[in-house]
Amino acid sequence: MTARGTTPLRGRMRWLRTMVLALALGGLHHPANAQAPGLGASVELVDPDVFRVCADPNNLPLSDQKGEGFENKLAELFAQKLNETTSYTYFPQIIGFVRNTLNALRCDVIMGVAVGDDLMQTTIPYYHTTYALVFAPDHGLDGIESLEDPRLKGKRIGVVAGTPPATVLARQGLMALARPYPLTVDTRLVSSAQTMADDIAADRIDAGVLWGPMAGYQARRVTPHLTVVPLVKEPVRMDFEIAMGVRKSDQDWKRKLNRLITENQPEMDRILAQYGVPLLDGQGRLERP
C-alpha cells in the first residue's frame, strides 16, 4: 500500500460513520447517548428469540424493506444459525438513526458500521473494502488503476462531496470539471450512487468514484455494465473495515456476533461477492474484483 494520509483516527472514524451509513455509501449518523437513558453499563436487553436489526428501508445494496440487500441476507443467515426469527426496525439513516433505533432498544444490531465507531461498540470486522473508480468500458479509460492516471485529465468525474476521493481529485487538478453529488441524503427520496451511475451510463459524466459496495452494485444495475476499479494505490486512505454495531452495554451479544462472524465468514464472503462488493485482505490487497 502507498503512504496513508495523516488525518487523526477520531476524525477518520467520524468521516467513515458519515460515509458508510449515509451513502452508502445514504444517510447520516449523529452523536447520541451511547446507551439508552437509565440503563447501567451491565444491562443487556437483547431479545433472546428474535434477531432484531436496525436498518435503512431504501438503501440498496445494503438493505431495503423487501429484504433484498446484502445486510438483509447476512441478518437472515445469522438468525438461521441462532434458530431465531428476524425482525427489522426501519429508519432512514439520517439525523437520529442511532437514537431512534439501537439506543431506543427497538433493535439490537446495526449490520454495517466502521470499526471503531464511537457511538457504539463494534464487532470484529466481517469485510474490508475500498472506494472504486467507475466508468463505461471502451471510452478511453480501460486499464486505469489510480486517480493519478494522466488519462483522467480533462474528464468529467463524479464524486461524493466530502469523501477522500475528493481530496485526491483536488490534488490532481481534476475538480474544475468534477460533478459533486451530496453525501447526506434521505434515501427515501434520492440515491447519490444511483444518480452517478445513471449519469455515467448516459455519458453525462465520464467516470465516478463510489464507495465499493455501491460501485459494484450500481455498475451491474445499468446496461451495458460499468467497469469497477478498486482504488488501492492512492496517497489518501480509501479502504476501511466494516463490522456490526451493538449497544455499549451488550458485551455478551457482541461476543456471540463475533463467534458467528468467525464461524460463517466464507458464507458471508459469498453473499458479499454476489453483490459485487470489492473485498480486500488484511493488507489492503484486492481479493475479489
Predicted pLDDT at 71: 98
Predicted pLDDT at 42: 54
Strand partners for 200: none
- Beta strands 239-246 and 127-135 are antiparallel
Predicted pLDDT at 189: 77
Domains 9-37+44-127+240-281 and 131-230 equal at CATH topology level: yes
Average pLDDT, the chain: 86
Task: Kindly indicate the confidence band of residue 287, based on its pLDDT and cuts at 50, 70 and 90.
Answer: confident
Digit-coded pLDDT (tens) for 59-85: 999 999 999 999 999 999 999 999 999
Predicted pLDDT at 94: 80
- Mapping DSSP onto H, E and C, the string for the chain reads CCCCCCCCHHHHHHHHHHHHHHCCCCCCCCCCCCCCCCCCCCCCCCCCCEEEEEECCEECCCEECCCCCHHHHHHHHHHHHCCCEEEEEECCCCCCHHHHCCCCCCCCEEEEEECCCCCCEECCCCEEEEEEEEECCCCCCCCCCCCCCHHHCCCCEEEECCCHHHHHHHHCCCCCCCEEECCCCCCCCCCHHHHHHHHHHCCCCCEEEEEHHHHHHHHHHCCCCCEEEECCCCCCCCEEEEEEEECCCCHHHHHHHHHHHHHHHHHHHHHHHHCCCCEECCCCCEEEC
Residue 22 near residue 163, CB atoms below 8 Å: no
CATH of domain 9-37+44-127+240-281: 3.40.190.10
Burial class (CB in 10 A: 0-12, 13-18, 19+), 126: buried
Confirm or reject CATH 3.40.190.10 for domain 131-230, answering yes or no: yes
Task: Kindly indicate the confidence band of residue 5, based on its pLDDT and cuts at 50, 70 and 90.
Answer: very low
Polymer length in residues for the chain? 289
* CA 199 to centroid of chain Cα atoms: 21
Upper half-sphere CA count for residue 132 (Cβ side, 13 Å): 30
Residue 280 near residue 274, CB atoms below 8 Å: no
Domain range summary for the chain, segments of one domain joined by +: 9-37+44-127+240-281, 131-230
Digit-coded pLDDT (tens) for 178-224: 999 988 777 777 889 999 999 999 999 999 999 999 999 999 999 99
- Beta strands 157-160 and 239-246 are unpaired
Predicted pLDDT at 147: 96
Task: Kindly tell me if the per-residue pLDDT of 283 is higher than 90.
Answer: no
